[in-house]
């Protein structure tokens, strides 16, 4: 009988219920597309910094990868001009910008599930054996780990020995403001979305299966979970992009920032 075959398969799956399955890994680019993998930068940021003179006292985040491009000049104005002429190009406008950022979002997680046969009483139904049995699948995402691959690009002076103390302070303040603006973006990307992602993961908790599907429950549940978390990733990234656009609209753009000037001597 179909029911007896189902019971055998059901008991087999039930034996592995509540056990975490193989770890799932998903990574997205800034457009929300799934990527095959996400490789973290291998070069430590201090190795990049040794090549150039970086203003002392800048607070760099340990969870961000920093890259630096060389600028030069004997005065503060010359250095700023060098940054404007040699900075990375914007992907959208292809114009030079004095600082830039790039980011990807990803996560890993396990999942567990348990199956329970529909307890609806069908004893009086003559066609019971011909009807499709229903199985309730309670599932849970466990041990989620959020991954961020974030890179900030800043100008770094090749040699600051020609600058007087006032110009060094001006340069430090200039880079500090660029860094502050980029860190504001990082807060939106990382800190402002973490709780929302975990909350939505927690809302993935149920799936109804047929008896035939229950025989292959692990693969079906995994496919379902992958699809649902991929939707979460795409939606979250779209929200992040909207917040970043609003943030940039309400702050001074890096490319439009006016360099500080040295007060004239009286």
- Assess whether pLDDT exceeds 90 at residue 90: no
Residue 99 pLDDT > 50, yes or no?
yes
Q: Between these two residues, 175 and 7, which has the higher pLDDT value? A: 175
Three-class SS of residue 29?
coil
The residue whose two tokens read 């993998």 is 37
Place 51 in a pLDDT band, splitting at 50, 70 and 90: low
| Residue 223 Cα distances to 49, 80, 207, 217, angstroms | 44, 52, 11, 10
> Which residue matches tokens 């927690």?
202
CA-based nearest residue to 212, from 15, 2, 52: 2
Q: What is this structure's pTM? A: 0.76
Instruction: Identify the weakest region by mean pLDDT among 12-16, 52-56, 61-65, 212-216.
Output: 12-16
* 151 SS3 class: strand
CA dist list (Å): 221 to 17, 28, 89, 143: 12, 21, 44, 17
Q: Does residue 128 have a pLDDT over 70? A: no
Does the structure show a pLDDT above 90 at 102?
yes
Q: What whole-number percentage of the chain has pLDDT above 90?
A: 56
Phi-psi region of 143 (alpha: psi -120 to 50; beta: other; left: phi over 0): left
For residue 125, what pLDDT is reported?
A: 52
pLDDT surpassing 60 at residue 40: no
pLDDT band for 97, please (50, 70, 90 cuts): very high
For 183, what's the count of Cα atoms within 13 Å in the CB-facing half-sphere?
Answer: 12
- Supply 247's token pair: 């943030």
Using the predicted structure, report yes or no on whether residue 59 has a pLDDT greater than 60: yes
DSSP 8-class letter at 158: S
C-alpha separations of 205 from 20, 182, 199, 200, 225 in Å: 14, 37, 12, 10, 9
The two tokens of residue 170 are 């001006």
Mean pLDDT of all residues in 9-23: 51
β-partners of residue 115 are 137
What mean pLDDT do residues 3-12 have? 47
């Amino acid at each position: 009988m179909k029911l007896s075959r189902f019971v055998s398969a059901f008991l087999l799956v039930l034996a592995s219920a509540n056990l975490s399955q193989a770890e799932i890994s998903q990574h997205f680019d800034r457009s929300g597309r799934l990527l095959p993998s996400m490789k973290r930068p291998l070069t430590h940021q201090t190795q990049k910094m040794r090549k150039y003179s970086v203003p002392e006292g800048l607070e760099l985040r340990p969870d961000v990868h920093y890259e630096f491009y060389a600028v030069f000049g004997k005065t503060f104005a010359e250095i700023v001009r060098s940054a404007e002429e040699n900075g990375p190009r914007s992907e959208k406008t292809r114009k030079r910008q004095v600082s830039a950022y790039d980011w990807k979002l990803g996560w890993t997680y396990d999942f567990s599930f348990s199956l329970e046969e529909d307890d609806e009483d069908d004893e009086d139904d003559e066609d019971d054996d011909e009807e499709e049995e229903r199985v309730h699948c309670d599932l849970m995402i466990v041990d989620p780990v959020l991954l961020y691959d974030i890179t900030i690009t800043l100008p770094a002076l090749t040699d600051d020995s020609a600058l007087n103390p006032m110009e060094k302070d001006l340069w430090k303040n200039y880079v500090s403001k660029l860094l502050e603006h980029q860190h504001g973006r990082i807060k939106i990307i990382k800190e402002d979305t973490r709780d929302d992602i975990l909350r939505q993961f927690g809302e993935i908790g149920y799936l109804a299966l047929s008896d035939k599907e229950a025989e292959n429950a692990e693969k079906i549940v995994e496919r379902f979970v992958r699809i649902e978390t991929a939707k979460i990733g795409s939606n979250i990234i779209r929200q992040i992009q909207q917040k970043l656009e609003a943030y940039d609209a309400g702050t001074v753009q890096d490319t439009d920032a006016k360099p500080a000037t040295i007060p004239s001597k009286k």
